Amino acid sequence: MKNWIASLGLALLSMSHLGAAHANSFADLRTKMTAARESLVVMATTKEKRGPDQQALVKDTANSASAALAKLKAPAGKEAQFKELNETWAAFKKTRETELVPAILGGKEELALKLAGGIQKERFTRCMSLLSELGG
C-alpha cells in the first residue's frame, strides 16, 4: 500500500512538472511572437531600419515563433484554442509576409498602417489571448 501511495505521489508530481513545462513553452512562444511583432514595428516606424539586416530580423523572428508553435501540442481539453492559435498565427504571418512587409518596403505607408492597425492588430491580440488560455 505504501508503494502504491508513493507511486501515485510521483505520478502526480511528474504530471505537475509537465504542466509547468508546457506553460513555460507557451510563455516562450509568447516571447517569440512578441519579438516578431516588435521587429516589424521597428521596420514600419523607422525608415532607416528597412535594410537587409532588419528584413532578415523580421523574417527570422517570425520563423522562430512558427518553429516554437510547431513543437507544441494542445493541453488536454484546450484543443480548440490550440487549433485557433495555429490558424490565427498562420494568417497573421501570411499577411505579414505577403502584404504588410511589401507595403512597408514599397513606401505604401497608408496601406501598411491600415493592415497593421486593423486585421493584424486583431490577430495578434487574439494570439496573445489564446496563449493566456493555453497557459502562456
Q: Note the pLDDT tens digit of each residue in 88-119.
A: 999 999 999 999 999 999 999 999 999 999 99
| N-terminal to C-terminal alpha carbon distance within the chain | 38
Q: Note the pLDDT tens digit of each residue in 30-87.
A: 999 999 999 999 999 999 999 999 999 999 999 999 999 999 999 999 999 999 999 9
CA–CA separation, 102 and 117 (whole Å): 16
- Cell, residue 81: 484554442
Note the pTM of the prediction, 2 decimals.
Answer: 0.82
CA–CA separation, 22 and 28 (whole Å): 10
